[in-house]
Amino acid sequence: MTDSDFPDEFADGFDDPGAITPEAIIEPSPDEVAALLQVEHLLDQRWPETKIEPSTARISALMELLGSPQRNYPSIHIAGTNGKTSVARMVDALISALHQRTGRTTSPHLQSATERISIDNKPISPAKYVETYREIEPFVELVDQQSHASGGPSMSKFEVVTAMAFAAFADAPVDVAIVEVGLGGRWDATNVVDAPVAVITPVGMDHMEYLGNDIATIAGEKAGIIRKVDADEVLPEGVDPSMVAIVAQQAPEAMEVIMAQAVSAEAAVAREGSEFAVLARQIAIGGQLLELQGLGGVYSEVFLPLHGEHQAHNAAVALAAVEAFFGAGASRQLDIDAVRAGFAAVASPGRLERLRTAPTVFIDAAHNPAGAAALAATLAEEFDFRFLVGVVSVMADKDVAGILDALEPVFDQLVVTHNGSPRALETDALALLAEERFGQERVITAATLTDAVETATALVEEAAEDGGVSGTGIVITGSVVTAGAARTLFGKDPQ
């Protein structure tokens, strides 16, 4: 891409950085909360987001009825197995620091459905969420009727919420949308956006019942977001119809499939380890200090307030995506101060997030073996715990054994529980699997998450009698739902 690929206002991204100043949080009224719960109840009657049908016909029909709001702005589209939400939040923070108004849609949410639709780096209000739903509801019902007439299903919950996000972004309006894929990519409801930049984060084994039983097949589904823009599509003024694919480190079999898709789509490709990379990282108080090789040169002294080597790699991917979007290259680098300000402002709730000190309590949304392995590696490499208790609840359809295997080396004791979701594995079944890996003497059961945290706290306090509370901690993990429930339990507001 060149300087002329985007309207003049995008050139501001190379000027002085702007401060990201969140507005004061206004508490919703009881009536607004009730209305939100009512809408969520209606949406929950639809297909869940964990179920997909290989078709974008319904979302395409709805977009046409709504006047194609997703074409009112360019998008950065993000697929992959792990790191999607963190990359999306980093991209959002960077583009905001480069003076552009952003819309971001991610899933699933931690605490509130409103988190799925963010404008200006914060979730829309419950009132706006309800208003947006009510505005598109008649058109959703029309698409439902059309689908039923041809023997198809109603729109899924994810399809409707995705349409709500696109409509809210157009109404704002935003300059750029950051769009995270829900499940897969090729047939995902988000795959109707005009995205000059597509991002593929690391691909691993997850959702095999829908995406395939090997890495190559899963990668093929996720790489489906790398596509040619149809010749007859009406693009926003200044947006180049060509695409750049930003590809994180991958297993060889995944990279082969992704590259083949990029060739088929005639997309330019930038790969981590080739065109961009993490050059150096140093553990720092509250995060890490990075030196990143971007598409436009080296960015040094970048502070990222997140823990873990995997987050450093996510940062490299996010930076390359933003560089590609703004047309940065060998002769054009993003403003380094803006990049530093953007990364310094990044928050990724539920990703090794500290909820309390004395004793230390972290939450992490790891919900597959790769995520659990990244969590375990970060705990071992960046912290010096002498006694660490894990509190775990996992969804029944996940690779529970793989998650527990990854966590076993870092937890001295494990409290298994139930996070309240109907999809969660029953506590007794989880305990049996845990005992096979940890041994009976290291596993305790608790009926609820509240009980589990109390049990873990008691274990930590008992250990503190020997050496003090320093060096002891609790990590609550196993699922996005588990992390979200813990955030609520500790009184944290949705972000």
Residue-wise pLDDT tens digits, 294-327: 999 999 999 999 999 999 999 999 999 999 999 8
pLDDT score of 122 more than 70: yes
pLDDT score of 234 more than 60: no
pLDDT band at 17 (very low <50, low <70, confident <90, very high): very low
Give residue-wise pLDDT tens across range 44-60. Answer: 999 877 667 789 999 99
Given this model, what pLDDT does residue 231 score? 55
Lowest mean pLDDT among 166-175, 180-189, 268-277: 180-189
Whether the CB-CB separation of 367 and 479 falls below 8 Å is answered with: yes
Q: At what angle do helices 215-222 and 252-264 cross, to 10 degrees?
A: 30
Residue 27 CA to residue 29 CA, distance in Å, equals 7
Give residue-wise pLDDT tens across range 411-428. Answer: 999 999 999 999 999 999
Q: Is the dihedral of CA 175, 181, 185, 186 positive or negative?
A: negative
Given this model, what pLDDT does residue 358 score? 83
Given this model, what pLDDT does residue 7 score? 35
What is the pairing mode between strands 360-363 and 353-356?
Answer: antiparallel
Give residue-wise pLDDT tens across range 360-413. Answer: 999 999 999 999 999 999 999 999 999 999 999 999 999 999 999 999 999 999
Given this model, what pLDDT does residue 208 score? 57
Q: What is the CATH number of domain 30-345?
A: 3.40.1190.10
Amino acid at 428: D
| Secondary element (H or E) of residue 162 | helix 157-171
Lowest mean pLDDT among 114-123, 225-234, 260-269: 225-234
Given this model, what pLDDT does residue 230 score? 59
| Secondary element (H or E) of residue 338 | helix 336-344
If you average pLDDT over residues 87-114, what whole number do you get? Answer: 97
Given this model, what pLDDT does residue 10 score? 38
pLDDT band at 480 (very low <50, low <70, confident <90, very high): very high
Residue 332 CA to residue 414 CA, distance in Å, equals 51
Q: What does the mean pLDDT of the chain come to?
A: 91
pLDDT score of 468 more than 80: no
Q: Which fold has domain 353-490?
A: Protein-Tyrosine Phosphatase; Chain A (3.90.190)
pLDDT score of 262 more than 60: yes
Residue 202 CA to residue 285 CA, distance in Å, equals 27
Given this model, what pLDDT does residue 469 score? 73
**Domain regions of the chain by residue span:** 30-345, 353-490
Whether the CB-CB separation of 455 and 444 falls below 8 Å is answered with: yes
Given this model, what pLDDT does residue 232 score? 53
